[in-house]
Amino acid sequence: MLDGKKTLFSGMQATGNLTLGNYLGALKNWVQIADDYQTFYSVVDMHSITVRQDPAELRKRARNLLTLYIAAGLDPEKNCIYYQSHVSGHAELSWILSCFTYMGELNRMTQFKDKAAKHADNINAGLFTYPVLMAADILLYQADVVPVGIDQMQHLELTRDIAIRFNNIYGDVFTVPEAYIGKSGAKIMSLQDPSKKMSKSDENPNGSIYLMDDPDTIIRKCKRAVTDSIGCVKYCDEQPGIKNLIDIYCACCGKTPAEVEAEFDGKGYGDFKMAVGEAVVSVLKPIQERYADLTKNKDYIDHVIKENAEKASYYSNKTLRKVQKKVGFPEKIR
């Protein structure tokens, strides 16, 4: 616990383009809880290189993502927004924790199996030990809570197991993190396949709305969204495409599904899809305008990068020095 507040850690990879699902499901909530926690929001660029990246493109995407954090409403004076690769403690703690993580535990990670299947030509050790680096990300800042989706819950459980194992050997060193339980973010599905989450890596460009999509593109994607032949705006599992569009509309307008059903009672899908598109445009427009302004202010973004890296390093070094002493590393001569 820092400054009398519980600590929250989260991050996003600097790959692909952020989608409406990333914003409504995570980033929007980060902004809403910023005053309630001591927060560390990382651009997890170290995680990104388990898959081969173009160096110049990775640097560009990392800066764009950090800028988007701010454009979406995260105040870098209140939230520590930083590059993972700028804080060496992530890699140093990851190595130590890997010595307290069992091969059998990593073998059970379903995400490794999924990613290995997708990248059969590059099944590297980093892909296998990815969850240990994630544990280091979290434990380095003594995070009390971590917002995670279902797909990351297994990694958080491993983080807890590692922390408890280390504490049982060396005493009370790490805070054992809990999953963040608060107002859940909207779970936004693909516009073309509502059985799958909207994804940065969707091969169908019409399946995802990206935060930087222009209004015409957003409206067009909403009009092309998969629906059904029933013809009524109803929030039910039998109409997954319409249910997804209702979720998007509710998240953008602050309405309930019942209110949306009443609003579009007797109206066709065309009217509803147009309304959804316009609602998304109204939400993303101020973010896009703020982002455009920030990208012109290179000195300000550079200042944020430098100051927040120093802040993250300060807090992470307190944990790292304690861990290094516990495992028997010699103290540095200062």
Residues 6+ apart with CB under 8 A from 286: none
Q: Which pLDDT tens digit goes with each residue over 150-161?
A: 777 888 999 999
What is the pLDDT, as a whole number, of residue 116?
66
Give the max Cα distance, the chain. 76
Cα distance between residue 287 and residue 64, in whole Å: 13
Q: Which pLDDT tens digit goes with each residue over 233-286?
A: 999 999 999 999 999 999 999 999 999 999 999 899 999 999 999 999 999 999
Q: Which pLDDT tens digit goes with each residue over 277-310?
A: 999 999 999 999 999 999 999 999 999 999 999 9
Cα distance between residue 259 and residue 205, in whole Å: 30
Mean pLDDT, range 204-225, rounded to an integer: 95
pLDDT > 80? residue 117:
no
Q: Which pLDDT tens digit goes with each residue over 312-334?
A: 999 999 999 999 999 999 988 87
Q: Is 175 helix (H, G, I), strand (E, B) or coil?
A: coil
What is the pLDDT, as a whole number, of residue 182?
62
- Of 242, 243, 241, 253, the residue nearest 278 (C-alpha): 253
Measured CA angle at 185 (ends 79, 200), to 5 deg: 85
What is the pLDDT, as a whole number, of residue 39?
96
Q: Which pLDDT tens digit goes with each residue over 53-64?
A: 899 999 999 999
Residues carrying an active site annotation = 115, 197, 200
pLDDT > 80? residue 184:
no
Whole-model pTM?
A: 0.90
User: Could you tell me the two tokens for 321?
Assistant: 């020095």
What is the pLDDT, as a whole number, of residue 50?
83
Only one residue has tokens 């001569």, namely 333
Q: Where are the beta strands (DSSP E) in 133-234?
A: 145-146, 178-179
What is the pLDDT, as a whole number, of residue 42?
96
Name the pLDDT band for 199 (thresholds 50, 70, 90): confident
